[in-house]
A and B are shown apart, each in its own frame.
Chain A
């Protein structure tokens, strides 16, 4: 178990506000935030490479005074940082130079097999693909038998093909081998597919900590909401089960809430339905009409924006659905969402 207690960093041009975090044994913990949020700096502080204030505890034992080699915390950088003058085997066996135990050697052999590196052992890092380098870096870091593995954007520099592969390996290392992993990323998609708990960081300030699901469903503030992909965020006031927006727009909420004079409501774009005629059902639903002002292809869906004089909504719609509806850019359309889809924060 790793605990950060009021860890703060002050450098010219960057500061990290006092940060308190707890990473449990065996957890896959995600640290997310836009670039420049100080994520790498936190990893270096944990590894003992970055001077900081506050205290870091490993199993309730303060380790801030320990040098990196005594901490048992391994770090994999985004650029892998493989030793270019050593072969793959020498790279992976590097931690063994500081240990005499036979068990340790077996552990490293096991990792080599697990990460399928046998055929690369005699190559040099410069001749490997990005995915292979990443696997070597993982094997080398885990070869040190770390209590905690720190990953700095492990997928960012990889081709999409390798990204999937490395994600699979990471999942395996965590689930089957039980390594505790703290991973930094700027991509919330990676958090969804890998993480258990997540901390969102922005400009050196912690925004929210919680299970991936809770952060995804109920973002604590506007920044987090934008970050987890809520496209439709509006300032509103709440009265009973109604959210009152500007221009007299009202959203029906799922339940009656305490009155609030200023807050935000958000709707995820995938929770909004697109239609080519008014809603005909009888259940309570929020419905708006407007002109389709933009159609942008995204990875798995079309991002469609509907605009009227009162509101602007963005929905993610499957391409096939869009074609079936027979709608086109510039035509009138309708958008619907259930009261349950409206989040308050």
Chain B
């Protein structure tokens, strides 16, 4: 007896040859090739091939950049004060923007998931706007509000906060573009928590706020981590909006662009390599943290 796979293939060939209504497929599918074209074989490899195309498209340029990086220049640029300052500024402005978003975005996400009201869809659409607006446009829009000639900008300047060409301005730009990346995952997380858990908590003697901090938030942990990571990553990689509000002081993406424009590829790619390395390390660390934070217990939550 031939092995099962072969027998199946044989059966399929018979089936296939028995059909005359196969149309165009019949023209280039010869029975010989069909030996390998059993349905599962075909489906699996086809899916894998189609799926891997995009993965390769992401990984190829990035690994290529690492492989072809001039490591001498990379190490040299780690001594470059300007580079280090830009990298550090990228990290902390992104973190500050994410912090502000988390502070205001958490109650907003909760409100949007728990309450039903007229015009809710409009509010939800507003949150998504920063995803759709070109980032330069976002930068211009924010600039028009915070420039010293506008009332808000004048007010901020009176307070001693310089909104344009400052780290403060960079944070403002990052906040605008990163909001949906925090609020949306958090909304999903809140929506997956049964309101009954909160209600029961209240009947057991907990106030609404106690319930929120001890039941709702811990259960939304996964969504919060994911929102924080996404929002931080979005902010760290922001260029378009930042460059409009603050070319100086420079964050890493601006410096990369600056070096590329003035010195060319050779001198911009080392900083790119560094920024990617830092981002990747942060990303992996945060992911690990998120998995560990929700780990063990999250499995119980499934049921």
Q: A residues within 8 Å of B by Cβ? A: 44, 47-49, 67-69, 71, 73-77, 79, 81, 83-85, 94-95, 97-99, 124-127, 140-141, 143-144, 146
Interface centre among B196, B203, B215, B301 (most CB of A within 10 A): B203
A144 and B206 CA atoms in complex are apart in Å by 11
- Which residue from B201, B203, B206, B301 sits with its C-beta under 8 Å from A84? B301
Of all chain A residues, the one with the shortest Cβ separation from B208 is A67
A48 and B297 CA atoms in complex are apart in Å by 31
Given A77-B196, A81-B194, A126-B302, residue A69 in contact with residue B203 (CB < 8 A): yes
- Which residue from A67, A94, A125 sits with its C-beta under 8 Å from B204? A94
Q: Which residues of A contact B218 (CB under 8 A)?
A: 85
CB distance from B220 to the nearest CB of A (A): 10
Q: Is the CB of B219 within 8 A of A75?
A: no
Q: Is the CB of A69 within 8 A of B206?
A: yes
Q: B residues within 8 Å of A by Cβ? A: 194, 196-197, 199-208, 215, 218-219, 297, 299-303
Q: Which residues of A contact B196 (CB under 8 A)?
A: 77, 79, 81
Q: Which residues of B contact A75 (CB under 8 A)?
A: 199-200, 203
- Which residue from A49, A99, A124 sits with its C-beta under 8 Å from B297? A124
Query: Lowest 3 A-B CB distances belong to which pairs?
Result: A126-B300, A98-B205, A126-B303
- Which residue from B199, B204, B207, B301 sits with its C-beta under 8 Å from A95? B204
CB distance from A163 to the nearest CB of B (A): 20
CB distance from B165 to the nearest CB of A (A): 46
Of all chain A residues, the one with the shortest Cβ separation from B202 is A68
Q: Is the CB of B300 within 8 A of A99?
A: no
CB distance from A100 to the nearest CB of B (A): 12
Q: Which residues of A contact B297 (CB under 8 A)?
A: 84-85, 124
15 other A-B residue contacts (CB within 8 Å) besides A83-B215, A126-B299, A143-B204 = A44-B199, A47-B199, A49-B203, A67-B207, A68-B199, A69-B202, A77-B200, A79-B194, A81-B196, A81-B200, A83-B201, A94-B201, A98-B204, A127-B303, A141-B203
Q: Which residues of B contact A124 (CB under 8 A)?
A: 297, 300
Q: Which residues of B contact A125 (CB under 8 A)?
A: 300, 303
Q: Is the CB of A47 within 8 A of B302?
A: no
Q: Could you pull out 20 A-B pairs where Cβ atoms are within 8 angstroms? A: A47-B203, A48-B202, A68-B199, A68-B202, A68-B203, A69-B203, A69-B205, A71-B203, A74-B203, A75-B199, A81-B196, A85-B219, A85-B300, A97-B206, A98-B204, A125-B303, A126-B299, A126-B302, A126-B303, A127-B303
Q: Which residues of B contact A69 (CB under 8 A)?
A: 202-207
CB distance from B222 to the nearest CB of A (A): 11
- Which residue from A74, A98, A126 sits with its C-beta under 8 Å from B206? A98
Q: Which residues of B contact A47 (CB under 8 A)?
A: 199, 203
Of all chain B residues, the one with the shortest Cβ separation from A74 is B203
Q: Which residues of A contact B300 (CB under 8 A)?
A: 84-85, 124-127
Q: Which residues of B contact A48 (CB under 8 A)?
A: 202-203
Q: Is the CB of B204 within 8 A of A144?
A: yes
Given A124-B297, A126-B300, residue A81 in contact with residue B204 (CB < 8 A): no
A127 and B300 CA atoms in complex are apart in Å by 7
Of all chain A residues, the one with the shortest Cβ separation from B296 is A124
Interface centre among A69, A73, A126, A143 (most CB of B within 10 A): A69
A204 and B220 CA atoms in complex are apart in Å by 36
Q: Which residues of A contact B302 (CB under 8 A)?
A: 126
A126 and B194 CA atoms in complex are apart in Å by 15
Given A83-B215, A84-B300, A85-B297, residue A67 in contact with residue B202 (CB < 8 A): yes
Q: Which residues of B contact A76 (CB under 8 A)?
A: 200
Of all chain A residues, the one with the shortest Cβ separation from B205 is A98
CB distance from B293 to the nearest CB of A (A): 11
Interface centre among A79, A83, A97 (most CB of B within 10 A): A83
Q: Which residues of B contact A83 (CB under 8 A)?
A: 197, 201, 215, 219
CB distance from A322 to the nearest CB of B (A): 45
Q: Which residues of A contact B205 (CB under 8 A)?
A: 69, 95, 97-99, 144
A227 and B157 CA atoms in complex are apart in Å by 74
Q: Which residues of A contact B219 (CB under 8 A)?
A: 83-85
Of all chain A residues, the one with the shortest Cβ separation from B302 is A126
CB distance from A280 to the nearest CB of B (A): 61
CB distance from A219 to the nearest CB of B (A): 33
Q: Which residues of B contact A85 (CB under 8 A)?
A: 218-219, 297, 300-301
Q: Which residues of A contact B202 (CB under 8 A)?
A: 48-49, 67-69
A79 and B194 CA atoms in complex are apart in Å by 10
- Which residue from A73, A81, A95, A99 sits with its C-beta under 8 Å from B197? A81
CB distance from A189 to the nearest CB of B (A): 26
CB distance from B190 to the nearest CB of A (A): 14
Of all chain B residues, the one with the shortest Cβ separation from A73 is B203
A153 and B215 CA atoms in complex are apart in Å by 24
CB distance from B153 to the nearest CB of A (A): 43
Q: Is the CB of B204 within 8 A of A140?
A: yes
Interface centre among A47, A126, A143 (most CB of B within 10 A): A126
A79 and B297 CA atoms in complex are apart in Å by 19
Given A84-B219, A85-B218, residue A144 in contact with residue B203 (CB < 8 A): yes
Q: Which residues of A contact B203 (CB under 8 A)?
A: 47-49, 68-69, 71, 73-75, 141, 144, 146
A30 and B156 CA atoms in complex are apart in Å by 64
CB distance from A62 to the nearest CB of B (A): 18
